[in-house]
């Protein structure tokens, strides 16, 4: 029996497909992970066909019985996947026919693999998105948990990676909470467009059977149907926008990782990451390397690559389905797998962070982080901001020459730079004073960050 006989299209072909071609075109090695979604889609299709009078009740019950067995075989690892049967769809259909006979052959009525595969990928992605949104929440929960203890922990806030102004460690962590919140929103938004049913589009033009697409959509939990059959079978924009959203999540995690790497460097010494997330060196006995955050940073490149792969896959395709689309799966699966693994390990790792508040505070004191506070103080005493800026710049230069912080200067010394300075300045020049003064929504004052944490907890509980 040739491959064409097995697949059921032998009539049209004068010679068997070359083995080389078979191997080149088959997708079963990677698309078998769609199997359970494929079965779900087929069961809904069969139920819809039956309720429309296209299949008999007996056919439906045979199909259900066969699919139940196939599902068991797949879950137990006993299912035999054959490369000659090209892909997940034909493997399952052939097995069904072997198990239940004619009902198996009738399943494909009013359907094509084109609308079938588009349905499977959407079901798979919807499921993946739901799991990813839970994982984002776990990471957010870890960030909020750590932040709760550090609303009064001062650290330098940086611009240009130079000490800029004091912030609290909690405030810094909560910046990532916000990024992840937008990331989850983006996934929810993508999900709305993923959650439309292509089935019924058949090969490209629809089908002549009296089907009820809305019914199938309802059975599969879709919000509605794709409203143009050509579009339904051919576009993979939903996979592309998912991957774009994934690339942004990875970008955020990569930034966080970069900071963890810096912070655990002894020159910073702001944190330690639990040993279980670090590795040693095979040659340098003293080393403790931040492999996990480095890999997060590195894997971000893969996801960016997957996004470009999918965009490139789509851009030259004429309507409607082309075999190019078979290439959507590996980048998509890899994106889901990489993102899943990364979110999971980041959540764990944040739970393994030890904070070193003294090191953070001393970095603030070495960087003249309260210079802006001194300038703002002078403005409040009536100096124009630009003049205040200049006076403080001179004061910083003076302190630098003496190798001390602004807060270490005596009142007389400070008054050389502006007569407006009085002894109420010392409350302003401490990192804690600086923090407390930024007391508006979005600011770093402990009171504000506590409120942000309370809002975050409410969001996470909702
Ligand atoms: N394995 C194919 C894919 O992933 C299924 C659809 C095949 N359709 C076709 N007309 N060859 O896209």
Ligand 1 site, residue 117, Cβ cutoff 6 A: yes
Same domain, 135 and 104: no
Residue 68 and residue 126 in one domain: no
Cα distance between residue 327 and residue 291, in whole Å: 31
- Atom nearest to 113 CA in ligand 1: 6
| Three-state secondary-structure class, residue 118 | helix
The reply to whether ligand 1 has any atom less than 6 angstroms from the CB of 111 is: no
Ligand 1 centroid to Cα of residue 233, in Å, is 10
Query: What pLDDT was estimated at residue 82?
Result: 98
Instruction: Give the HSE-up count for residue 34: Cα atoms under 13 Å, Cβ half-sphere.
Output: 31
Whether 346 and 377 share a structural domain: no
Clarify whether residues 195 and 287 are in a common domain: yes
Alpha carbon of 329 to ligand 1 centroid (Å): 11
Do both 44 and 143 map to the same domain? no
The owner of tokens 């409040």 is 380
Number of separate domains in the chain: 3
Catalytic residue among 27, 42, 281, 437: 281
pLDDT, residue 2, reads: 65
Ligand 1 atom nearest to 325, measured from its CA: 12
Ligand 1 contacts CB of residue 113 (under 6 A): yes
The tokens 């020459």 sit on which residue? 401
Q: Are residues 322 and 231 in the same domain?
A: yes
- The verdict on 149 and 86 lying in the same domain is no
Q: Give me the CATH number covering residue 449.
A: 1.10.40.30
CA–CA gap between residue 12 and residue 161 (Å, rounded): 67
281 is catalytic: yes
**Judgement on whether residues 26 and 147 belong to the same structural domain of the protein:** no
State how beta strands 224-225 and 196-197 pair.
parallel
Same-domain pairing of 42 and 126: no
CA distance 319 to 321: 6
Q: Say how far apart CA 138 and CA 344 lie, in whole Å.
A: 8
pLDDT on residue 13: 86
Residue of 323, 324, 329, 330 to mutate, ligand 1, most atoms within 8 A of C-beta:
323
Transcribe 321-343 into DSSP letters.
--GGGGGGHHHHHHHHHHHHHHH
**Residue 171 a catalytic site member:** no
Peptide bond just before 320 cis, omega within 30 deg:
yes
Cβ neighbours of residue 286 closer than 8 Å, sequence gap 6 or more: none
Evaluate: CB of 373 within 6 angstroms of ligand 1. no
- Of 160, 208, 282, 440, the catalytic one is 160
Residues 29 and 27: their CA atoms lie apart, in Å, by: 5
Tell me if 114 sits within 8 A of 323, measured CB to CB. no
352 and 442 fall within a common domain: no
Please answer whether residues 419 and 409 qualify as being in contact, where contact means their C-beta atoms are separated by less than 8 angstroms.
no
Cβ(59) – ligand 1 distance below 6 Å:
no
The finding on whether 126 has its CB within 6 A of some atom of ligand 1 is no
How many angstroms separate the Cα of 273 from the Cα of each of 156, 288, 290, 346, 393?
19, 10, 8, 11, 37
- Pick from 136, 165, 342: which is nearest to 257 by CA? 342
Residues 345 and 379 in one domain: no
HEC profile for 180-237? Answer: HHHHHHHHHHHHHHHCEECCCCCCCCCCCCCCCHHHHHHHCCCCEECCCHHHHHHCCH
Give yes or no: residues 290 and 388 share one domain.
no
Q: pLDDT truncated to tens, each residue of the chain (462 aa)?
A: 566 676 767 778 888 889 999 999 999 999 999 999 999 999 999 999 999 999 999 999 999 999 999 999 999 999 999 999 999 999 999 999 999 999 999 999 999 999 999 999 999 999 999 999 999 999 999 999 999 999 999 999 999 999 999 999 999 999 999 999 999 999 999 999 999 999 999 999 999 999 999 999 999 999 999 999 999 999 999 999 999 999 999 999 999 999 999 999 999 999 999 999 888 888 888 888 999 999 999 999 999 999 999 999 999 999 999 999 999 999 999 999 999 999 999 999 999 999 999 999 999 999 899 999 999 999 999 999 999 999 999 999 999 999 999 999 999 999 999 999 999 998 999 999 999 999 999 999 999 999 999 999 999 999
Rounded Cα distance, 78 and 94, in Å: 15
Dist. CA 33 → ligand 1 center (Å): 15
At 226, phi and psi to the nearest 5? -70, 130
Domain region containing 168: 114-361
The residue out of 79, 109, 139 marking a domain boundary is 109
Q: How far is the CA of 368 from the centre of ligand 1 (A)?
A: 63
Phi-psi region of 435 (alpha: psi -120 to 50; beta: other; left: phi over 0): alpha
Bridge-based pairing of strands 154-159 and 162-168 is: antiparallel
Structure tokens at 433: 């004073």
**Ligand 1 centroid to 28 CA: how many Å?**
11
Q: Cβ(250)–Cβ(342) under 8 Å? A: yes
CATH of residue 35's domain is 1.10.275.10
Nearest 5°: CA angle at 399, between 397 and 401?
A: 70
- The secondary structure of 1-55 as a DSSP string is --HHHHHT-GGG-SSPPPHHHHHHH--HHHHGGGHHHHHHHHHHHHHHHHHTTSS
The answer to whether the Cα torsion of 56, 62, 65, 69 is positive or negative is negative
Ligand 1 mutation pick, 91, 108, 326, 329, max ligand atoms within 8 A of CB: 326
Q: Looking at residue 188, which CATH number applies to its domain?
A: 1.20.200.10
Q: Which of 188, 149, 153, 181 has the alpha carbon at shortest distance from 168? A: 153
Give the C-alpha separation, 332 to 323, whole Å.
Answer: 16
Regarding the beta carbon of 326 and ligand 1, being less than 6 Å apart is answered yes
User: In degrees to the nearest 10, what's the CA dihedral of 300, 304, 307, 308?
Assistant: -160
Q: How far apart are CA 245 and CA 249, in angstroms?
A: 6
**End position of a domain, from candidates 361, 395, 427:** 361
**Domain-ending residue, one of 70, 91, 109:** 109
């Amino acid at each position: 029996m040739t491959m064409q006989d097995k697949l059921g299209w032998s009539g049209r072909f004068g010679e068997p497909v070359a083995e080389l071609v078979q191997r080149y075109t088959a997708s079963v090695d990677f698309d078998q992970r769609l199997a359970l979604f494929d079965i779900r889609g087929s069961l809904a299709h069969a139920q819809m066909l039956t309720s429309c009078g296209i299949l008999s009740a007996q056919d439906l019950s045979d199909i259900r019985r066969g699919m139940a067995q196939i599902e068991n075989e797949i879950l137990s690892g006993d299912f035999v996947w054959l490369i000659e049967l090209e892909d997940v769809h034909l493997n399952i259909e052939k097995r069904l026919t072997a198990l239940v006979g004619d009902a198996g052959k009738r399943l494909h009525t009013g359907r094509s693999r084109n609308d079938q595969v588009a349905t499977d990928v959407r079901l798979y992605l919807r499921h993946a998105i739901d799991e990813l949104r839970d994982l984002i929440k776990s990471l957010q929960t870890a960030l909020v948990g750590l932040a709760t203890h550090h609303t009064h922990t001062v650290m330098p806030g940086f611009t240009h990676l130079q000490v800029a102004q004091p912030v609290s460690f909690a405030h810094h962590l909560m910046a990532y909470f916000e990024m992840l919140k937008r990331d989850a929103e983006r996934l929810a938004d993508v999900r709305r467009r993923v959650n439309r049913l292509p089935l019924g589009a058949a090969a490209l033009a629809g089908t002549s059977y009296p089907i009820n697409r809305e019914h199938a959509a309802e059975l599969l939990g879709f919000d509605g149907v794709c409203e143009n059959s050509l579009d339904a079978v051919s576009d993979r924009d939903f996979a592309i926008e998912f991957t774009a959203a994934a690339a942004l999540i990875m970008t955020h995690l990569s930034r966080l990782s970069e900071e963890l790497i810096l912070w655990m460097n002894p020159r910073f010494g702001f944190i330690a990451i639990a040993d279980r997330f670090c590795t040693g060196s095979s040659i340098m006995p003293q080393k403790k390397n931040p492999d996990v955050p480095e890999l997060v940073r590195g894997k971000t490149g893969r996801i960016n690559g997957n996004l470009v792969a999918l965009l490139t896959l789509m851009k030259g395709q004429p309507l409607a389905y082309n075999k190019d689309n078979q290439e959507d799966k590996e980048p998509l699966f890899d994106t889901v797998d990489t993102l899943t693994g990364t979110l999971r390990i980041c959540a764990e790792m944040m739970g393994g962070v030890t904070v070193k508040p003294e090191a953070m505070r001393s970095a603030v004191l070495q960087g003249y982080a309260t210079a802006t506070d001194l300038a703002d103080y002078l403005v409040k005493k009536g100096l124009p901001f630009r003049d205040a800026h200049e006076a403080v710049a001179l004061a910083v230069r003076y302190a630098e020459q003496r190798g001390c912080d602004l807060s270490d200067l005596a009142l007389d010394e400070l008054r050389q730079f502006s007569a407006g300075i009085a002894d109420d300045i010392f409350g302003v020049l401490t990192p804690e004073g600086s923090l407390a003064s930024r007391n508006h929504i979005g600011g770093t004052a402990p009171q504000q960050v506590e409120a942000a944490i309370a809002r975050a907890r409410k969001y996470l509980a909702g």
